[in-house]
Amino acid sequence: MTDPSFFVGILGNVISILVFASPIGTFRRIVRNKGTEDFRWLPYVTTLLSTSLWTFYGLLKPGGLLVVTVNGAGAALEAVYVTLYLAYAPRETKAKMAKLVLAVNVGFLAAVVVVVLVSLHGGVRLFAVGLLCAALTIGMYAAPLGAMRTVVKTRSVEYMPFSLSFFLFLNGGVWSVYSVLVKDYFIGIPNAIGCVLGAAQLVLYMAYWKSTKPAARKDDEAGSEEEEEGLVHLMGQVEMAQRRVRLHKGLSLPKPSAGPLSSPRNGFGHIKSFSATPVELHSVLHQHGHGRGRFEAVKKDDDEAND
């Protein structure tokens, strides 16, 4: 009969790879726009270090094949992310990031591998690497605490995506079960903490998702309202210019319909369309450009024409 830990480990591999693959959309955007915008680069550097160390741990551990496969795939994806970020980052960010990548992902990782293989032996070797991996993983799982604090402060889950919180919870839970089956506390303790923190994020999401109104939607509504009011105002000015031109030509004013303009709150459906000649539009722009004094002068000419 097949060991149940194998099936749990396979499920953990699938979920973890989905988590590792979640930034693909972000980097597709970076490549398309040829810029890193405001995306943070530090999480990719630290995750690359963590997955690399877990791969090394799996190689040292007897029966650690599933640990090697998932973290090897994760390290490969993170290496691609780091490379793409370096390719499109601004010059100053690129220099700072390159130094950290060389120091942490090359220098520190190489030092750990050399020291462990040369200076440590037997169970001490596995214990040292496992302890280091567990500490890094706990730090990674604790990173979303800042996002949770923002959710409570703003009463909005806009910056804490549900899918990421759900997969972190699921990932921590599956690997916690796996650690119990294989009796590996270095895998179990950090993933149990991650499962608890993921559950806390889901609770916060359920508590605040109804009160969330994305800022982008607020900006769109405000911008739409301003544009609507501005258009209504401009159309009113065009109508005034038409009437002044007709007065100068000795024409009588047309009888107004039920109302040339609707309220700005009622949308554009009832706004009457006007045909404005270049001269009439120039009159409106001329009025806006020269202020109230010019408007009074035009009004005086209109009164003389009426007389």
Residues 218-245 pLDDT 10s = 443 444 444 344 444 444 554 554 555 4
Q: What is the pLDDT of residue 240?
A: 55
Three-state SS at 22: coil
Residues 9 and 142 in one domain: yes
Residue 200, in any domain of the structure: no
Residue 231, in any domain of the structure: yes
H helices of the chain, in order, are 4-21, 24-33, 42-60, 65-88, 91-100, 109-119, 122-142, 145-154, 162-182, 185-208, 215-248, 278-306
Residue 183, in any domain of the structure: no
Residues 94 and 13 in one domain: yes
Give the chain's radius of gyration (CA, Å).
33
> What is the domain range of residue 98?
4-149
Residues 133 and 252 in one domain: no
Query: Domain boundary residue among 123, 149, 175?
Result: 149
Q: Inter-axis angle of helices 24-33 and 65-88, to 10 degrees?
A: 20
Averaged pLDDT, 4-31: 90
Query: Domain boundary residue among 124, 149, 174?
Result: 149
Residue 177, in any domain of the structure: no
Residue 196, in any domain of the structure: no
Residue 176, in any domain of the structure: no
Residues 134 and 250 in one domain: no
Total domains in the fold of the chain: 2
Averaged pLDDT, 115-126: 91
Residues 243 and 143 in one domain: no
Query: Domain boundary residue among 121, 149, 177?
Result: 149
Q: Is it the case that residue 263 has pLDDT exceeding 50?
A: no
Residue 166, in any domain of the structure: no
Residue position matching structure tokens 């559950």: 199
- The model carries a pTM of 0.65
